[in-house]
Protein backbone atom coordinates (compact mmCIF):
# COMPACT_ATOMS: atom_id res chain seq x y z
CA UNK A 1 0.00 0.00 0.00
CA UNK A 2 1.39 3.39 -1.01
CA UNK A 3 2.08 6.18 1.49
CA UNK A 4 -0.58 8.42 -0.15
CA UNK A 5 -3.22 5.73 0.18
CA UNK A 6 -2.35 5.16 3.84
CA UNK A 7 -2.62 8.90 4.46
CA UNK A 8 -6.05 9.03 2.81
CA UNK A 9 -7.28 6.12 4.94
CA UNK A 10 -5.93 7.82 8.07
CA UNK A 11 -7.66 11.10 7.18
CA UNK A 12 -10.97 9.31 6.58
CA UNK A 13 -10.68 7.55 9.93
CA UNK A 14 -9.95 10.77 11.83
CA UNK A 15 -12.80 12.59 10.06
CA UNK A 16 -15.19 9.75 10.91
CA UNK A 17 -14.08 9.85 14.54
CA UNK A 18 -14.65 13.61 14.73
CA UNK A 19 -18.11 13.30 13.17
CA UNK A 20 -19.01 10.57 15.67
CA UNK A 21 -17.75 12.75 18.53
CA UNK A 22 -19.92 15.65 17.34
CA UNK A 23 -23.00 13.43 17.02
CA UNK A 24 -22.56 11.63 20.37
CA UNK A 25 -20.26 13.85 22.46
CA UNK A 26 -20.84 12.17 25.83
CA UNK A 27 -20.19 8.68 24.52
CA UNK A 28 -17.10 9.94 22.71
CA UNK A 29 -15.86 11.63 25.91
CA UNK A 30 -16.14 8.40 27.89
CA UNK A 31 -14.37 6.39 25.18
CA UNK A 32 -11.63 9.01 24.94
CA UNK A 33 -11.00 8.94 28.69
CA UNK A 34 -10.90 5.13 28.69
CA UNK A 35 -8.50 5.13 25.74
CA UNK A 36 -6.22 7.62 27.52
CA UNK A 37 -6.17 5.50 30.68
CA UNK A 38 -5.31 2.38 28.66
CA UNK A 39 -2.45 4.22 26.96
CA UNK A 40 -1.19 5.35 30.37
CA UNK A 41 -1.20 1.75 31.60
CA UNK A 42 0.66 0.62 28.48
CA UNK A 43 3.27 3.35 28.98
CA UNK A 44 3.69 2.41 32.66
CA UNK A 45 4.17 -1.27 31.76
CA UNK A 46 6.86 -0.37 29.22
CA UNK A 47 8.60 1.91 31.74
CA UNK A 48 8.64 -0.87 34.37
CA UNK A 49 9.99 -3.33 31.79
CA UNK A 50 12.85 -0.96 30.91
CA UNK A 51 13.57 0.17 34.48
CA UNK A 52 15.94 -2.63 35.43
CA UNK A 53 17.85 -2.24 32.18
CA UNK A 54 18.57 1.49 32.14
CA UNK A 55 17.32 3.18 35.33
CA UNK A 56 13.96 4.68 36.19
CA UNK A 57 14.47 8.12 34.60
CA UNK A 58 15.78 6.76 31.32
CA UNK A 59 13.02 4.13 31.27
CA UNK A 60 10.32 6.79 31.74
CA UNK A 61 11.85 8.94 29.01
CA UNK A 62 11.99 6.10 26.46
CA UNK A 63 8.49 4.88 27.31
CA UNK A 64 7.13 8.42 27.01
CA UNK A 65 8.79 9.00 23.64
CA UNK A 66 7.46 5.68 22.30
CA UNK A 67 3.91 5.75 23.71
CA UNK A 68 3.32 9.42 24.60
CA UNK A 69 2.60 10.68 21.05
CA UNK A 70 -0.56 8.55 21.04
CA UNK A 71 -2.20 11.09 23.38
CA UNK A 72 -1.63 13.84 20.83
CA UNK A 73 -3.11 11.67 18.07
CA UNK A 74 -6.33 10.71 19.87
CA UNK A 75 -7.05 14.18 21.25
CA UNK A 76 -7.17 17.51 19.46
CA UNK A 77 -7.26 20.75 21.45
CA UNK A 78 -8.98 23.87 20.14
CA UNK A 79 -6.39 26.22 21.56
CA UNK A 80 -5.38 29.80 20.92
CA UNK A 81 -2.42 30.59 18.69
CA UNK A 82 0.96 30.13 20.36
CA UNK A 83 3.08 33.27 20.61
CA UNK A 84 6.61 33.80 21.92
CA UNK A 85 5.32 36.44 24.33
CA UNK A 86 2.69 34.19 25.91
CA UNK A 87 5.08 31.25 26.09
CA UNK A 88 7.75 33.30 27.88
CA UNK A 89 5.15 34.77 30.24
CA UNK A 90 3.97 31.29 31.19
CA UNK A 91 7.55 30.15 31.82
CA UNK A 92 8.08 33.21 34.04
CA UNK A 93 4.80 32.60 35.86
CA UNK A 94 5.72 28.97 36.57
CA UNK A 95 9.13 30.03 37.88
CA UNK A 96 7.64 32.66 40.19
CA UNK A 97 4.97 30.29 41.53
CA UNK A 98 7.59 27.60 42.11
CA UNK A 99 9.80 30.05 44.00
CA UNK A 100 6.86 31.17 46.16
CA UNK A 101 6.04 27.53 46.98
CA UNK A 102 9.64 26.86 48.05
CA UNK A 103 9.79 30.01 50.18
CA UNK A 104 6.38 29.41 51.76
CA UNK A 105 6.35 25.63 52.20
CA UNK A 106 10.10 25.07 52.54
CA UNK A 107 12.43 22.98 50.42
CA UNK A 108 10.93 19.74 49.08
CA UNK A 109 12.24 16.41 50.45
CA UNK A 110 15.76 15.69 49.25
CA UNK A 111 15.84 13.76 45.98
CA UNK A 112 17.60 10.46 45.66
CA UNK A 113 20.67 10.20 43.46
CA UNK A 114 20.35 9.00 39.87
CA UNK A 115 21.49 5.52 40.77
CA UNK A 116 24.26 3.31 39.48
CA UNK A 117 23.20 3.35 35.84
CA UNK A 118 24.90 5.22 33.02
CA UNK A 119 24.95 9.01 33.04
CA UNK A 120 22.03 9.25 30.62
CA UNK A 121 19.76 8.28 33.52
CA UNK A 122 20.75 11.54 35.26
CA UNK A 123 20.28 13.62 32.12
CA UNK A 124 16.92 11.91 31.55
CA UNK A 125 15.79 13.13 34.97
CA UNK A 126 16.12 16.75 33.81
CA UNK A 127 14.48 16.06 30.45
CA UNK A 128 11.55 14.34 32.17
CA UNK A 129 11.17 17.06 34.81
CA UNK A 130 11.26 20.04 32.47
CA UNK A 131 9.77 18.69 29.22
CA UNK A 132 8.31 15.18 29.15
CA UNK A 133 6.30 15.06 32.38
CA UNK A 134 4.83 18.58 31.97
CA UNK A 135 3.81 17.84 28.36
CA UNK A 136 2.21 14.49 29.20
CA UNK A 137 0.50 15.65 32.39
CA UNK A 138 -0.91 18.72 30.67
CA UNK A 139 -2.09 16.69 27.70
CA UNK A 140 -3.65 13.90 29.74
CA UNK A 141 -4.99 15.74 32.81
CA UNK A 142 -5.85 19.20 31.49
CA UNK A 143 -6.32 18.05 27.92
CA UNK A 144 -8.01 14.67 27.52
CA UNK A 145 -9.56 14.25 30.98
CA UNK A 146 -10.54 17.91 31.39
CA UNK A 147 -12.33 17.91 28.03
CA UNK A 148 -14.05 14.61 28.81
CA UNK A 149 -15.26 15.88 32.19
CA UNK A 150 -16.42 19.17 30.62
CA UNK A 151 -18.53 17.28 28.12
CA UNK A 152 -20.03 15.02 30.79
CA UNK A 153 -20.46 17.40 33.74
CA UNK A 154 -19.71 21.00 32.75
CA UNK A 155 -16.82 23.42 33.20
CA UNK A 156 -16.69 23.93 36.98
CA UNK A 157 -17.07 20.22 37.93
CA UNK A 158 -14.39 19.41 35.33
CA UNK A 159 -11.96 21.88 36.87
CA UNK A 160 -12.70 20.58 40.37
CA UNK A 161 -12.38 16.89 39.42
CA UNK A 162 -9.11 17.18 37.49
CA UNK A 163 -7.63 19.56 40.07
CA UNK A 164 -8.38 17.24 42.99
CA UNK A 165 -7.04 14.24 41.09
CA UNK A 166 -3.82 16.03 40.17
CA UNK A 167 -3.30 17.45 43.67
CA UNK A 168 -3.88 14.03 45.25
CA UNK A 169 -1.11 12.61 43.05
CA UNK A 170 1.19 15.37 44.39
CA UNK A 171 0.08 15.08 48.01
CA UNK A 172 3.37 16.32 49.51
CA UNK A 173 2.48 19.85 48.43
CA UNK A 174 -1.27 19.28 48.09
CA UNK A 175 -2.48 22.83 48.78
CA UNK A 176 -0.10 24.55 46.38
CA UNK A 177 -0.66 21.93 43.69
CA UNK A 178 -4.40 22.43 44.10
CA UNK A 179 -4.06 26.15 43.36
CA UNK A 180 -1.60 25.66 40.50
CA UNK A 181 -3.68 22.93 38.86
CA UNK A 182 -6.92 24.92 39.17
CA UNK A 183 -5.25 27.93 37.56
CA UNK A 184 -3.97 25.88 34.60
CA UNK A 185 -7.37 24.21 34.15
CA UNK A 186 -9.09 27.62 34.20
CA UNK A 187 -6.64 28.93 31.60
CA UNK A 188 -7.21 25.85 29.44
CA UNK A 189 -10.99 26.34 29.43
CA UNK A 190 -11.56 30.07 29.56
CA UNK A 191 -8.41 31.38 27.84
CA UNK A 192 -8.05 28.50 25.36
CA UNK A 193 -4.46 28.00 26.48
CA UNK A 194 -2.92 25.05 24.67
CA UNK A 195 -0.73 22.25 25.93
CA UNK A 196 2.57 23.91 24.92
CA UNK A 197 1.94 27.08 26.92
CA UNK A 198 0.66 25.15 29.93
CA UNK A 199 3.67 22.83 29.76
CA UNK A 200 6.00 25.84 29.78
CA UNK A 201 4.52 27.01 33.08
CA UNK A 202 4.47 23.47 34.43
CA UNK A 203 8.05 22.72 33.36
CA UNK A 204 9.52 25.88 34.87
CA UNK A 205 7.56 25.21 38.08
CA UNK A 206 8.98 21.66 38.20
CA UNK A 207 12.48 22.97 37.54
CA UNK A 208 12.40 25.30 40.55
CA UNK A 209 11.12 22.56 42.87
CA UNK A 210 13.67 20.06 41.57
CA UNK A 211 16.61 22.43 42.02
CA UNK A 212 15.37 23.20 45.54
CA UNK A 213 15.23 19.46 46.32
CA UNK A 214 18.81 18.83 45.23
CA UNK A 215 21.69 19.79 47.53
CA UNK A 216 23.77 22.40 45.72
CA UNK A 217 26.89 20.27 46.24
CA UNK A 218 25.23 17.49 44.20
CA UNK A 219 23.94 19.59 41.31
CA UNK A 220 27.07 19.00 39.23
CA UNK A 221 26.37 15.25 39.27
CA UNK A 222 23.21 15.77 37.27
Confidence of residue 33 (pLDDT cuts 50, 70, 90): confident
Q: Is the dihedral of CA 210, 216, 218, 222 positive or negative?
A: positive
**pLDDT tens column, 109-123:** 666 555 555 667 778
**pLDDT tens column, 174-200:** 888 899 999 999 999 999 999 999 999
Distances (CA, A) of 50 to 64, 91, 127: 12, 32, 17
Name which of 17-26, 47-56, 156-165, 197-206 the model is least confident about.
17-26
| C-alpha–C-alpha distance, residues 144 and 156, integer Å | 16
Confidence of residue 217 (pLDDT cuts 50, 70, 90): very low
Confidence of residue 1 (pLDDT cuts 50, 70, 90): low
Quick check: 51 pLDDT over 70?
Answer: yes
pLDDT score recorded for residue 13? 55
Read off the DSSP letter of residue 130. I
The chain-wide mean pLDDT, for the chain, equals 83
| C-alpha–C-alpha distance, residues 197 and 214, integer Å | 26
| C-alpha–C-alpha distance, residues 196 and 139, integer Å | 9
So where are the chain's domains? 3-221
pTM (predicted TM-score): 0.82
Looking at the chain, the whole-number percentage of residues with pLDDT higher than 70 is 80
| Nearest Cα residue to 196 out of 140, 135, 126 | 135
Instruction: Kindly calculate the radius of gyration of the chain based on its CA atoms and give it in whole angstroms.
Output: 19
Residues 163 and 181 sit within 8 Å (Cβ to Cβ) = yes
| Nearest Cα residue to 186 out of 133, 120, 142 | 142
Amino acid sequence: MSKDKKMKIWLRMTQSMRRAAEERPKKAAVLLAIAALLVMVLMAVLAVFLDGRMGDNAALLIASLVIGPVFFVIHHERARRITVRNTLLMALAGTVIGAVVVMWAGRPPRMEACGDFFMFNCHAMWINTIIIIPLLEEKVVRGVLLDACRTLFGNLPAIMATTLMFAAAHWRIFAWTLVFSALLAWLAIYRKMGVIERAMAHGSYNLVLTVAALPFTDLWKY
